[in-house]
């Protein structure tokens, strides 16, 4: 009965997507990310000089509106090159390839001098399960409204953050960038949001602790900006 109630209220959609994203992807790539960036840095020492940003920056738009080409989403985000690939045999597929792309993030104010390249270079990608939430809200058969989509996107973020906080092997390898994306946002909103996170990592001295009840990102409160709250009740 509880399972049927959860299915009718769609409470299990985001929870399942978050766990699938972690088990099927993040748990595989995040522990190997630093090694991949080390190899890249040895070959390109001037590109990734700041280790504070040696993370996978995961974009989480609560609108679930994802553009496959980041350069089209924001012209101030420019593809640079790919990191060394990770090749594994998974679920019957021989030599399955996992790879990440490096981007240069430019400031919208062209009159200001650009910071060194390494301060604005990062590995960034969207949280792909949000595409499923968006597709469900566009398919009548799913009976999934826009309101359902937004609430599930918030739950996806909170669940994923909770999972990653407890994954010791992933500590210090990721940065979740959650925002209320919309088609009405300014043209360079996304690049500015990424830059803000990059600057925070370079300026602030903090350690990612998986046992901590809340990370820096989880100071977000629904009451203030309609962004997701932490799952744990003991957060301030």
Work out the average pLDDT over 160-185: 87
Q: Is pLDDT above 70 for 9?
A: no
Q: Is pLDDT above 50 for 161?
A: yes
Looking up tokens 């700041």 gives 50
**What CATH number should be reported for the domain holding residue 110?**
3.40.50.12100
CA distance 40 to 83: 6
Q: Does a structural domain hold residue 159?
A: yes
Cβ atoms of residues 14 and 148 within 8 Å: no
CA distance 35 to 86: 10
Residue-wise pLDDT for 97-142, tens only, equals 899 999 999 886 654 455 544 458 899 999 999 998 888 888 776 6
Q: Does a structural domain hold residue 89?
A: yes
Work out the average pLDDT over 41-45: 84
Residue-wise pLDDT for 193-231, tens only, equals 999 998 888 776 444 444 433 333 433 333 345 566 555
Work out the average pLDDT over 37-45: 86
- Output the pTM of the full model: 0.77
Residue-wise pLDDT for 11-31, tens only, equals 578 889 999 999 999 999 999
Q: Does a structural domain hold residue 216?
A: no
Q: Does a structural domain hold residue 214?
A: no
Q: Does a structural domain hold residue 233?
A: no
CA distance 202 to 51: 9
Residue-wise pLDDT for 51-62, tens only, equals 788 999 999 999
Cβ atoms of residues 58 and 126 within 8 Å: yes
Helix, strand or coil for residue 2?
Answer: helix
Q: Does a structural domain hold residue 129?
A: yes
Q: Does a structural domain hold residue 197?
A: yes
Domain with 167 in it: 9-207
CA distance 141 to 139: 5
Report the number of distinct structural domains present in the chain: 1
pLDDT interval class at 44 (50, 70, 90): confident
CA distance 225 to 184: 17
pLDDT interval class at 180 (50, 70, 90): confident
Q: Does a structural domain hold residue 215?
A: no
């Amino acid at each position: 009965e509880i399972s049927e109630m959860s299915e009718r209220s769609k409470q299990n959609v985001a929870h399942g997507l978050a766990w699938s994203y972690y088990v099927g992807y993040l748990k595989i790539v995040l522990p190997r990310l630093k090694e991949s960036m080390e190899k890249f840095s040895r070959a390109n020492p001037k590109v990734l000089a700041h280790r504070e940003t040696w993370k996978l920056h995961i974009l989480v738009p609560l609108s679930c509106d994802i553009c496959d080409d980041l350069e089209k989403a924001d012209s101030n985000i420019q593809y640079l090159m790919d990191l060394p690939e990770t090749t594994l045999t998974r679920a019957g597929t021989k030599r399955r390839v996992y790879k990440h792309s490096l981007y240069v993030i430019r400031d919208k104010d062209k009159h200001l001098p650009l910071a060194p390249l390494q301060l604005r270079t990062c590995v960034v990608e969207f949280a792909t399960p949000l595409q499923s939430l968006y597709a469900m809200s566009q398919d009548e058969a799913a009976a999934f409204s826009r309101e359902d989509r937004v609430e599930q996107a918030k739950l996806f973020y909170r669940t994923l953050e909770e999972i990653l906080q407890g994954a010791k092997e992933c500590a210090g390898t990721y940065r979740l960038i959650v925002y209320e994306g919309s088609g009405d946002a300014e043209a360079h909103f996304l690049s500015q949001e990424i830059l803000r996170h990059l600057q925070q990592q370079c300026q602030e001295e903090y350690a990612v602790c998986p046992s901590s009840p809340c990370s820096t990102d989880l100071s977000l409160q629904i009451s203030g900006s309609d962004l997701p709250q932490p799952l744990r009740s003991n957060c301030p």
